[in-house]
Amino acid sequence: MSEPGPLSGLRVLEVGHILAGPYATMLLADLGALVTKIEPPGGDLSRQVSDAYFASLNRGKRSVRLDLATPEGQARLHELVRGADALLVNLKPSAVHRYGLTYEALKPWNERLVCVALTGWGMDAGDAPAFDYVVQAATGIAALTGDPSGPPQLPGYSSADNSAGLAAALGLLAQVVSGRGGQVDVSLRDVMLSQLNYHAAAWLNDGTPPRRLGGAHAYYVPAQLFPTAEGHLALFITHDTFWRAFATEAGIEGYATMAERAAHRTEVVAAVTKALAADTAAGWEARLRPLHVPAAAVRTLPEALAEAPEAVVEAGGHRLVGSPFRIGGHTPEYGAPPRLGEHGDYG
């Protein structure tokens, strides 16, 4: 019999739209938290995208429809706050304040409440639009991405929103564990700057600006995508043991140390590219895996999901990717995404 989720008993309120905030609270719900989604009269905007899209961010939650702009809605909010451990809000700062969704505003109803504000630029930075791709452009992510001879690029998924959701969930739990109520401020900008850690350190300490390397790693060589006879192969050669195993299999001589490979990046990449042309990406993966060399053929998402059936779960008739957390003794129960106002309609 499965044990209760590690967050069983944690009661979380969510006010937000689309992705970052709902993703954060869904991760908490997957771990056993009771998450109540407070939706405006028209519902979370993600309901307008598709049922599957909404389900991918809101499975296993409750839904209360509530107009926070009315006195009745505020009274109901305060009732919910009395019985909650935390509130996560994913709105622009002016709306967070206008609807009284800060710790200072809600403290009279629950001094132990943890309030997390997940915004684009921070609670004190104004209401400038802060959608995922805008933040990636503004924080240096896009400038680092793409071919060096081409324009900056963006990845094909919402990396800023998802990363900020993870950070917000962590911040919420950290404050809950402290046993104190209080305000937690998480911004997409700060999260993405944090994820540029070693790039930022190189600039701040050594004055070394980041370079766009076509997806190649700034320090490790070879660590990038390479064309093969068919398909592309990702190599991530860090230490010298990996290089010796790979070079022997590929028939490449020299460049024995990490420092040598970094100093002769262009030559190493050319040698590796030439060697990899002798086989397919799948062939190289099969040859290198027994040697414990970090390498993988580039797959599409459908191909990756087909190889990881255990990652796919069902929730309310939708097939979704399950929780990334594996907790010993606990098997998550994936509830259906809620209907708008299913657990209370005050809109």
- Using pLDDT thresholds of 50, 70 and 90, give the confidence band for residue 165: very high
- Distance separating alpha carbons of residues 117 and 283, to the nearest angstrom: 48
pLDDT above 80 (res 1): no
pLDDT per residue as tens digits for the range 175-193: 999 999 999 999 999 999 9
Write down the catalytic residue from 161, 185, 190, 279: 161
> DSSP E strands: which ranges in 97-160?
114-119
If you average pLDDT over residues 282-302, what whole number do you get?
A: 98
pLDDT above 80 (res 347): no
Query: Where, residue-wise, is CATH 3.40.50.10540 in the chain?
Result: 11-195+312-346
What is the per-residue pLDDT for 2? Answer: 79
- Distance separating alpha carbons of residues 95 and 79, to the nearest angstrom: 20
Q: How does the average pLDDT of the chain come out, rounded?
A: 97
What is the per-residue pLDDT for 281? Answer: 98
| Superfamily per CATH, domain 11-195+312-346 | Crotonobetainyl-coa:carnitine coa-transferase; domain 1 (3.40.50.10540)
Q: How far is CA 115 from CA 88, 125, 174, 178, 261, in A?
A: 6, 18, 12, 13, 48
**Can you state the angle between helices 20-30 and 159-178, rounded to 10 degrees?**
50
What is the per-residue pLDDT for 256? Answer: 97
Tell me whether residue 279 is one of the annotated catalytic residues. no
If you average pLDDT over residues 124-144, what whole number do you get?
A: 95
pLDDT per residue as tens digits for the range 43-84: 999 999 999 999 999 999 999 999 999 999 999 999 999 999
Higher pLDDT, 224 or 347: 224
Any bridge partners for residue 183, and if so which?
A: 115
pLDDT per residue as tens digits for the range 21-47: 999 999 999 999 999 999 999 999 999
- Distance separating alpha carbons of residues 340 and 65, to the nearest angstrom: 6
What is the per-residue pLDDT for 346? Answer: 85
What is the per-residue pLDDT for 95? Answer: 97
What is the per-residue pLDDT for 3? Answer: 87
R_g over Cα of the chain: 24
- Distance separating alpha carbons of residues 254 and 259, to the nearest angstrom: 12
The torsion region of residue 341 among left (phi > 0), alpha (psi -120 to 50) and beta comes to left
- Distance separating alpha carbons of residues 188 and 133, to the nearest angstrom: 11
